Amino acid sequence: SQELEQSPQSLIVQEGKNLTINCTSSKTLYGLYWYKQKYGEGLIFLMMLQKGGEEKSHEKITAKLDEKKQQSSLHITASQPSHAGIYLCGAADRGSTLGRLYFGRGTQLTVWP
């Protein structure tokens, strides 16, 4: 099975600062998904990466999948209080049942004004 390690476990930053969250896999990644969750709510899809070296951006959030496809990073530029929440990475395993994702434990982000 796929194992995903997220770091850091929690992050507290001042508004306006940049930050990076990492997601490292025990195996080659075939489809890496980033989600955001507010406490007590469902997960909201952010971005999906499939190819080594791929990079995608949405507003101030950029996600990358490294060339060897075993690590992804999520970078937030000029953080705002609206970025606060739990960020989770999820990955498909080539050998797993189609559609099944394995998730990391999440990174709790707090942004203070």
Partner 1 sequence: DGGITQSPKYLFRKEGQNVTLSCEQNLNHDAMYWYRQDPGQGLRLIYYSQIVNDFQKGDIAEGYSVSREKKESFPLTVTSAQKNPTAFYLCASSTPRGSRPNEQFFGPGTRLTVL
CA distance 94 to 91: 10
CB atoms within 10 A of CB 70: 17
Cβ proximity to partner 1, 79 vs 107, nearer residue: 107
Could you say which of 17, 58, 94, 105 contacts partner 1 (CB under 8 A)? Answer: 105
Cβ 68 to partner 1 shortest distance, Å:
22
User: Is residue 100 a contact point for partner 1 (CB under 8 A)?
Assistant: yes
Q: How far is the CB of 33 from partner 1 (least distance, A)?
A: 6
103 near partner 1 (CB under 8 A): yes
